Amino acid sequence: MPVTHLAGALCHPTDCTLRASNSQHIATRFNEHSSVSHTRDLDRVQVAERWSRIKECNYVPVKVANTRADLGESLVWDERSGVLYFVDISGGRINGLTPDGEVDCLYESAARIGALALTDRGNLIFTEDASVAIFDVPTRKVSQHSASVHPRSTYRFNDGACDPQGRFVTGLMDEALSDNTGALFRFDWQLSDQVIHDDMGLPTGLAWSHDGHTVYFVDSAARAIYRAEYLIEGRLGAVTLFAETPAELGRPDGLALDREGGLWVCQYHGSCLLRYDRHGYLTDQVLMPVPCPTSCCFGGPGMNTLYISTARYDMTPEDLHHYPDAGDLYAIRPETGGVARHSFKE
């Protein structure tokens, strides 16, 4: 990967966090209950208390590719080939960043491509509107396709990932933003689907703990990350609130897990990435040079680089004048590297 300069300076404690606005850093102070919207909800009170110590981090995001994606998403690192895959949802494309730094369009569709993951045969499983397909990388052809899970054209799958058993889990959302009609779907090797969680507004990022017993998932509309026991048969146990961010930091989007069990989350319209430890306490914040980071994943030698996709979707000409690099790919080098994601079993 053509990433030659990735900063990894130590973080220092502070009681305020920073967000980017028009290329300037604005200090925003949070009190103990700043993220509590329902004081009677014990989960939210406990999550709010975890914001008592916030670190301002000096990681400097480095641009690794000029992709100009309208809505970049679903970063996937392939250790065998050294290719970083990602999609442009509204552009309907699956792209690959090759080891020599070239961006290669592998597949283009009139449909919206939302989620992407590797298979155990080195192929890709991806979503196309409200269906799921297998993409054969050597021939660059779709080899298997599921039926659509919803008849309305406003519904599509968003982000997704594979569980420890090799099944594909992805979130269905309504672009018309109907109230809590989103859901998590699980697909087996035959691309047969089953709903495993519903009543969601805008499902996005997914990540599993190292032991596979816990799954983290995002409802971006609720500005919340949830945690649940993940049963071996692919069902969820009790769901609890893991983290909730205030509106001034945008909405949580894609997730990545590091080797310490820390959870990195992209804050869409928040110009930053946040890191929570395994207990849900905020430990780090990384300022981004663009407003809308969307997805992140670990990759590179030793899985020590955190790659970050961004978007320019729905930005005005004035916005793009201030942030011409919106939609490009970035990377940082955190102190703690990541773990490889699970693959789909074909």
**Percent helix, strand and coil across the chain, each rounded to 5?**
10, 50, 45
pLDDT band at 103 (very low <50, low <70, confident <90, very high): very high
Domains of the chain, first to last: 1-47 (no CATH), 62-332 (2.120.10.30)
Q: What is the structure's pLDDT at 324?
A: 96
Asked whether residue 19 carries a pLDDT value surpassing 70, the answer given is no
Per-residue pLDDT tens for 42-66? 455 555 555 555 555 678 999 999 9
Q: Where is pLDDT greater, at 322 or 31?
A: 322
H or E, element range at 46: helix 42-49
What is the per-residue pLDDT across 165-215, written as a single tens digit (0 to 9) for each? Answer: 999 999 999 999 888 999 999 999 999 999 999 999 999 999 999 999 999
Residues annotated within the binding site are 73, 156, 158, 253
What is the 8-class DSSP label of residue 71? Answer: B
Whole-model pTM over 0.75: yes
Look up residue 220 and give its DSSP letter.
Answer: G
Q: Which member of 159, 219, 253, 284 is catalytic?
A: 253
Q: Are 346 and 121 in contact (CB under 8 A)?
A: yes
| Binding-site residues for substrate | 156, 158
**How, if at all, do strands 203-208 and 214-219 pair?**
antiparallel
Catalytic annotation present for 253: yes
**Residue with the two structure tokens 């100009």:** 68
- Binding annotation for a divalent metal cation: 73, 253
* Six token digits for residue 95: 């792209």
Q: What is the pLDDT of residue 59?
A: 86
Overall average pLDDT of the 77-98 stretch: 97
* Least confident piece of the model among 38-52, 65-79, 317-331: 38-52
